[in-house]
């Protein structure tokens, strides 16, 4: 049951979310998108009609005396104008119109071409969440960039360097120049915040062929 409810929820989500959170059944997601499209159209179109009728009832009470003196055609035109006034002046009406139309599109896409069309409000919600997460990630990276490395000299002409940010270029093929000496990566360890990336370096053999070279700035380290 929970898997079915999860698949129904994924029917409203963008393809990127379905790719990272695989549904229990792709067929369930397709049928959920198709059937909820019908349900979406029915619910929001009825809500729209009810809201318009309530608005027209208010306008009829305000202009009842004027409308009673007009012929039937004029009265119909008045109500048409009031209907457009409601749609144009009320943001909720725009949302209800869109969601009703979106339901038709989701139903037709699922039935005719077997395609899952996500719901735009859900897509926008995920975009906002991703934007906030990426902003938080960039903020964390900027904060981590201000944390200097910690260097520890080990026996056997080795050293351990703990860093707040991963040194993606530091592989076994890279030669790292530190204080005029050449080192290579012997291994990596997992550390604790604020320096979770730990690299163990050893003296590079003199005759080693250089496939990559990097100068390491000792001024950016904190010696322990």
Q: How far apart are CA 160 and CA 165, in angstroms?
A: 15
Cα of first residue to Cα of last residue in the chain, in angstroms, is 56
Q: Give the contacts of 42 (CB within 8 A, at least 6 positions apart).
A: 103
Q: How far apart are CA 139 and CA 185, in angstroms?
A: 29
pLDDT digits (tens, 9 = 90+) for 23-64: 887 888 888 889 989 999 999 999 988 887 777 677 666 665
Residue 69: pLDDT over 60: no
User: Average pLDDT of the chain?
Assistant: 81
Share of the chain above pLDDT 70, in %: 83
Element (H, E) at 183: strand 181-190
pLDDT digits (tens, 9 = 90+) for 96-114: 888 999 999 999 999 888 8
- The overall pTM is greater than 0.85: no
Residue 80: pLDDT over 80: no
Q: How far apart are CA 78 and CA 187, in angstroms?
A: 80
Peptide bond into 194 cis (omega under 30): yes
Q: How far apart are CA 44 and CA 37, in angstroms?
A: 11
What is the residue whose two structure tokens read 């530190």? 178
């Amino acid at each position: 049951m929970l898997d079915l409810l999860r698949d129904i929820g994924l029917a409203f989500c963008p393809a990127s979310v379905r790719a990272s959170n695989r549904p229990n059944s792709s067929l369930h997601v397709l049928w959920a998108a198709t059937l909820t499209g019908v349900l979406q159209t029915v619910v929001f179109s009825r809500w729209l009609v009810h809201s318009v009728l309530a608005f027209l009832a208010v306008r009829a009470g305000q202009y009842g005396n004027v409308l009673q003196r007009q012929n039937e055609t004029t009265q119909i035109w008045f109500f048409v104008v009031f209907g457009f006034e409601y749609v144009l002046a009320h943001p909720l009406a725009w949302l209800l119109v869109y969601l009703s139309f979106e339901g038709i599109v989701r139903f037709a896409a699922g039935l005719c071409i077997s395609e899952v069309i996500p719901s735009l409000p859900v897509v926008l919600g995920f975009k906002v969440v991703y934007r906030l997460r990426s902003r938080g990630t960039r903020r964390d990276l900027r904060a981590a960039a201000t944390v200097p490395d910690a260097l520890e000299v080990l026996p056997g002409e080795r050293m351990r360097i703990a860093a707040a940010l991963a040194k993606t270029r530091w592989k076994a093929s890279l030669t790292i120049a530190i204080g005029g000496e050449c080192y290579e990566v012997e291994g990596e360890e997992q550390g604790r915040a604020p320096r979770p990336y730990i690299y163990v370096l050893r003296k590079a053999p003199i005759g080693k062929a250089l496939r990559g070279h990097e100068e390491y700035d000792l001024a950016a380290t904190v010696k322990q």
